[in-house]
Amino acid sequence: MKLFIFAFLYPFFLFADVSFYVISPYAEVHEMPSKQALAVDYLHCGQRVRLVKKEDISRDFFSVKYAKKTGFINKKFLSQKRVQCPQKKYAYFFEGLPLDADDRIYWGKLYEQFYMGEVKAK
């Protein structure tokens, strides 16, 4: 009986919603899985997205759905755990910045071009 229930419910576990959270201050949502692809939207730290497909579309991007929209986000900007975002941690600082929508787009594009890591040179 237990085996039958497991066999019946197993497909539902495979396709359960998988949520991720944006962990960078700003992230671009692209129409194709490439940094050079047109950015169709911008998300900020803490926003939740859902995976559209379980399998990877590309090595660096996930296909995601958010607010009835779909697009591609670089995996390095997503985590399954919520993080403390700089906008909330340093709210007094960020509230004092006169950033409009164009500024947020600029910072999102710039942040995506950074490569974070360690240098192995001696």
In CATH, what number is assigned to the domain containing residue 59?
2.30.30.40
Q: Which of 8-22, 46-60, 82-96, 104-118 shows the lowest per-residue confidence on average (mean pLDDT)?
A: 8-22
Q: Confirm whether 2 is domain-assigned.
A: no
pTM over 0.85: no
90 C-beta neighbours (distance < 10 Å), count? 11
Residue 85 lies in a domain: yes
Residue 119 lies inside a defined structural domain of this protein: no
pLDDT for 93 beyond 90: no
| Residue 118 falls inside a structural domain | no
CA-to-CA distance for 115 and 110, rounded, in angstroms? 11
| 3 in a structural domain | no
d(CA 9, CA 87): 41
Residue 121 lies in a domain: no
**pLDDT bucket at 73, cuts 50 / 70 / 90:** very high
Q: What pLDDT does residue 110 have? A: 76
| Strand (E) or helix (H) holding 101 | helix 101-113
Position 50 in a domain: yes
**Domain total of the chain:** 1
Task: Report residue 20: phi and psi, to 5°.
Answer: -130, 160
Quote the domain boundaries for residue 66: 19-113
Query: Stretch 8-30: mean pLDDT, rounded?
Result: 72
The answer to whether residues 74 and 61 touch, using CB atoms and an 8 Å cutoff, is yes
Residue 102 lies in a domain: yes
